[in-house]
Amino acid sequence: MFLYIIGLIVCFYVYRWFRELGRVPNKSEKFVYITGCDTGFGNLLTKHLDTKGFRVVAGCYTEKGEVELKKSCSDKLTTLNLDVTDNYSIKKAAETIKTLVGEKGLWAVVNNAGISFPTAPNDWLEIEEFKQMINVNLIGVVAVTLSVLPLIKKAKGRVVNVASVFGRISTVGGAYCITKYGVEAFNDSLRRNMAPFGVKVLCIEPGFFKTTVTDSAIFESHLQRLWNKLPQEVKDEYGSDYIDRTKAVVKEKHEKMLDSDLMKVVSCMEHAVAAVHPRTRYSPGWDAKIFWLPLSYMPTFILDAVVLKDAVNPKVSVL
């Protein structure tokens, strides 16, 4: 009986592998709109899809990002200045894209733009710091999607939302996990909403990868800035050595978990855009597949015990 089960599992994965090999035709006629292309995953995906023959429209926050991309891509590339928190910027980009794609519509939008800071204990933060990240990571995803959704419906194309494995499990304070849970919810509701129109809505849930936003020095700098402006009462609660203990944990454990192969994520993005039969969800990174996703299905008391085991506790603690 056990061998039959193993055989069925093997057959399923072989079938899925063959089914997912097919790629959509006429790539040179398909436009793909990507946000957050200055650096990181968006930058790499732009270059990758450009080499695959797609007509990429890259949304960059800075003029420098646009210039650098144009130097490294073909003349098929179109760059746009895009601030996903600015409705005027979003609408202007959508109007440009509508002119570019014409009656064919937009094949895909990849909502990649996002920020990771400020991330800290919740009682260190003010509501404006929550709003800042929510506006970029969640409201920006919704706003960009809605701005081009009619064009995607026309092409029977795809919406690819970049969430995180931390849209399944919340381990840090601040708005990061909140926004990624929100992206997951938006993704699921939109997927069901768009199914009758032939539009596929797909989600990328990466684990820990080594990018600019995960650089430990940047994280430490942000944490120190937040610590410096805390009331003395809160500093006393956490202990004068809290920052030092946190930095030590980041260097000892966090950096070891980071995967430097960003193409694992980019390959999933490319598959979501280009495959005839894309997956509903992608979880690039072994930490996501082997640790974080299984942990997210555990009972709460187990989940809390695992997360708190490696947490840096404040001086005043009842644990």
- What whole-number distance in Å separates Cα of residue 212 and Cα of residue 205? 18
**Active-site residue, from 33, 61, 176, 242:** 176
Q: Write down the residue that tokens 């995960």 correspond to.
A: 214
List helix spans (H) across the chain: 2-19, 40-51, 63-72, 87-101, 127-134, 140-155, 176-194, 216-228, 232-238, 242-249, 255-257, 263-274, 286-287, 293-296, 300-309
| Beta carbons of 284 and 45 less than 8 angstroms apart | no
CB 90 within 8 A of CB 147: yes
- Report the half-sphere exposure of 42 (CA within 13 A, side-chain side): 29
Q: Tell me the C-alpha distance between 49 and 270, whole Å.
A: 7
Residues 112/35, Cβ–Cβ less than 8 Å: yes
**What is the Cα–Cα distance from 233 to 237, expressed in whole angstroms?**
6
Rg (Cα) of the chain, in Å, rounded? 21
Catalytic site includes residue 13: no
Q: Are 139 and 266 contacting, i.e. CB atoms less than 8 angstroms apart?
A: no
| CA trace torsion 268, 274, 278, 283 (10° rounding) | 10
Closest listed residue to residue 205, CA positions, set 289, 319, 261: 289
Q: Active-site residue numbers?
A: 176
